[in-house]
Structure 1
């Protein structure tokens, strides 16, 4: 199981050195991302390196579930008020309609929520620090931690499981 560690570096140059140390220590290139202030990211960080998580996928799942329930309830209410017979097709139609609308609405709102790292380390990012985000096994992280700290990285208090395995 991979865990996520976040290191703060004083500059993009130090961040690149830290990433080289991580790669040399056996951490896959795809498991390394950078987070920085907008002006730094736009000018100097390639898109493939940017950590850009949003609440899009979790919001879509929540929206689909809530939409399905609301759609079924709407079908029951419509059946009662309009004296339609309550049929399986009516319930399914309400559920499908609710899923579609709920997912769309939740995705639109979820895409605008900043990723958790940006919220958690807002002050570091705004101070011009460049965060190096590493998804790796505990053993891999332990093997490269000393070298990254020697290069100028500071481990931030953010340990968490990652979706990448």
Structure 2
């Protein structure tokens, strides 16, 4: 994650305030992905008669991430917009949270399924993957959204 962030040093030096919100976005996405992972592992562990179609579970968890992302994204947009008197910055952070949470929920539901299919215990093997994946993707999402807005909107 540190190496990835270093690729955005120019962007951070141009808008240092962006660095304040990195842990908020990575932490929130990581928590959402871990929760989605727990739901998927629970479903995988159920007796065959109680298991749902894995595609339905992935869809439901992704929609849950989208809804959570919209709610938290709007909330952080308002908080940052009022706190920093900058609703564009708030929008960048809010949209980044929405996107990062949705991607983390998608990954959190897919990773245990993949682990199970290749013969690993999804309860043990999935945690490190979702943590790393959600950190990396949320940083990529955040800084690419910020870069786009700074280059094209501001």
Bin the TM-score by the shorter chain. Answer: 0.3 to 0.5
Greater RCO (CA < 8 Å, at least 6 residues apart): 1
The structure where helix makes up a greater share of residues is 2
TM-score, normalising length: structure 1: 0.32
Q: Tell me which structure has the larger Cα radius of gyration.
A: 1
